Amino acid sequence: MKKNKLLSLATTVAGGIALSLVASGAVFGGQVLDYKLALAEDGETYEIWMRPSAAPKPDISLTGQVTLKVPTLADFKAVEVVGTVEGADWVEASRVNAPEEASAFDYISFSFVGLQGNSAHNYGWEEGKEKLVFTFKNESGCVEGVSIMENDDPFNATENNSANTNPGNQFTNLGWGSVSENHFKSVYGEAVSCS
């Protein structure tokens, strides 16, 4: 009898704590960050925007990757890659040209670097608020058909794609879950048009 009362009390306390954490906006794991590709008003600068569905607590961004899908025939060369968040630079980390899963496209992955110590807090994510994360240009100008790789893209295989790579979009922030989780959710926004 005493054991059942203790179990009931423990369950009630745990449930109350969980409810208060949910009410306070704490997020435990899950995919919360959406990516968007846009074209700046100059008609040649591509912009990567991100929008979280929840503010991370604590806000400690660890790793991130954005993978572009570009037409192979365009011979796309990213230049002038500029991080727009102080202390977080984005660089072209890998490229796979015309993989057999989608041979009409090249896949270019960008990762952020430079966040160490207190600088890991620089993103300042706010629930539902878009943030411009980095910009870049193509060496020969705007190209139609450039997009962020979708979750269901044929080349987006975590194991056994033809190039033995991990092209998936990714972001990890300790306020959204553990260091081993990917908090990228999906791609949003309209297709980019050069016209």
pLDDT band at residue 29, thresholds of 50, 70 and 90? low
User: In which residue are the tokens 């230049």 written?
Assistant: 79
pTM: 0.83
Q: Which residue has the higher pLDDT, 53 or 24?
A: 53
Residues 117-137 pLDDT 10s: 555 667 899 999 999 999 999
Domains of the chain are: 24-187 (2.60.40)
pLDDT of residue 121: 67
Burial of 153 (0-12, 13-18, 19+ CB in 10 A): buried
